[in-house]
Chain A
Amino acid sequence: MACQGLQKGETLESLKRESETLKKKLEEERNKLNDVELHQVAEKVEVLSALSIKTRRVLKGHGNKVLCMDWCKDKRRMVSSSQDGKVIVWDAFTLNKEHGVPLPCTWVLACAYAPLRSLCLIMNGYLGLDNKCSVIPLSLDKNENLAAKKKSVAMHTNYVSGCSFTNSDMQLLTSSGDGTCALWDVESGQLLQSFHGHTADVLSLDLAPSETGNTFVSGGCDMKANVWDMRSGQNIQSFESHESDINCVKYYPSGDAFASASDDATCRFYDLRADREVAVYQKDSIIFGASTCDFSLSGRLLFAGYNDYTINVWDVLKGTRATILFGHENRVSRVRVSPDGTALGSASWDSTLRVSWSFSTGSNYIFRFIKLLFWVNSRLVLEFTVAF
């Protein structure tokens, strides 16, 4: 096979030299603008008052590790997928299971709820034979055989690690172990755009919030987080500061930044307009990898699930840990804040899902006062009975 044509004067060495020079220039340009650290600027912000976020619901029903969960846009339904081969749609209010969709293979790695009532599933055959992403239109009719209506949309040459519908629900973005991401038309299954640049498995992707345009971020085993233009397929920004696989990437609610969770036991925060990492969320006592992360509605809190079974809640601005949620009895595989921001859903290898939220302190005092009243009342009843 003939060598690819070299431009005049270009050699492999000259290209490598130019590559090194550009990398240095990139580093210099970024450092010039690093005039202050985020946590220093954030000293002006009030310290968070003690958070009363606690796990208040446990959803049992899966028979094996829960690998993924997502919230429905109606704010009350959750969907989860498990190694037991089932996808369950839960009503998070009543804890009822609305649908149970059994699937032919056990490696349902991920699921996502589309804005308009359909469900996307990634199914990878045990021997890597499937590598497909399928879409199932969900109906409220419990008798419908949903598994029969599934439609294959995406196909990669290696396992599919993540999927997300675009805002219109008509396109699907996927990330894969084959090192690429791809954009598909849901109706026809046609590949619309592919994204090349990662040099190892891509493990996660997240779409920019709708107001800020057509970009998405991806992270993978090459320890890089890349930002892409969805229309052109161009990699517009790249961040390489993690020291191990990036398991999850998530945009900050304003779209100007994103966070990543990694096997190096840290979560990091990158600002897109400053084009650099602006915070690292870590502690000496945290030595297990972080597999998932999500922001609260205001972006002040970052929830991250770890392989030591905990969920650490970070103060995004100050860089400190605000609180820690215990309860899961195995690795936390996914955390997701509900669309209206009221609750945190978490999925785990312990085969349960948990829903956590916070009561305002006013309510706490009222509860305690009412409890006190009942106690006093019961004591009085006792006194009178004894007297007579």
Chain B
Amino acid sequence: MSSKLHPSNNITHARRTVNQLRIEASIERIKVSKASADLMNYCTENARNDPLLTGIPASDNPFKEKKPCTIL
């Protein structure tokens, strides 16, 4: 926090807040139902390519150490 309280700073700060709120209040918004549906669609479309969700087959696992296999 850099600014100390000062009469002129209060006005500047207040005006900045008002300008900021004007910008935020005027943006275009969509309904939560639509936004949620889109989020859901993104998840389901990409679910099969998500290795943490589906798991990786052991043969493809790049982190696995390659141990020699011994047959009894």
How far is the CB of A259 from the nearest CB of chain B, in Å?
12
Instruction: Find A38's partner among B30, B32, B45 (CB 8 Å cutoff).
Output: B32
Q: Are B55 and A359 in contact (CB under 8 A)?
A: yes
> Nearest chain-B residue to A356 (Cβ)?
B52
Contact between A363 and B11, CB atoms less than 8 A apart: no
Cβ-based interface call for A200 (8 A): yes
Report the count of interface residues on A (CB-CB < 8 A).
87
Query: A3 and B62: CB pair below 8 A?
Result: no
Complex CA–CA separation, A342 to B72 (angstroms): 33
The interface bits of chain B over 37-72 (1 if a CB of A lies within 8 angstroms of the residue's CB, else 0) are: 111101111110111111111110111000000001
Report chain A residues within 8 Å CB of B23. 234-236
CB interface residues, B 12-37, toward A, < 8 Å:
12, 14-15, 17-18, 20-25, 27, 29-37
> In the complex, what residue of chain B is closest to A200 when comparing beta carbons?
B1
Are A237 and B32 also in contact (CB < 8 A) when A38-B39, A300-B53 are?
A: no
Contacts of A298 in B (CB 8 A): 42-43, 45-47, 49-50, 53
Q: How far is the CA of A357 from the CA of B11 in the complex (A)?
A: 54
What is the bound-complex CA distance between A25 and B62, given in angstroms? Answer: 53
Residue contact B42 to A299, C-beta cutoff 8 Å: yes
**Contact status A337-B52, CB under 8 Å:** yes
Known: A37-B32, A38-B36, A234-B23. A52 touches B53 (CB 8 A): no
Q: Which among B44, B52, B62 is the interface contact of A344 at CB below 8 angstroms? A: B52
Smallest beta-carbon distance A359→chain B, Å: 5
Residues in A neighbouring B12, C-beta threshold 8 A: 4
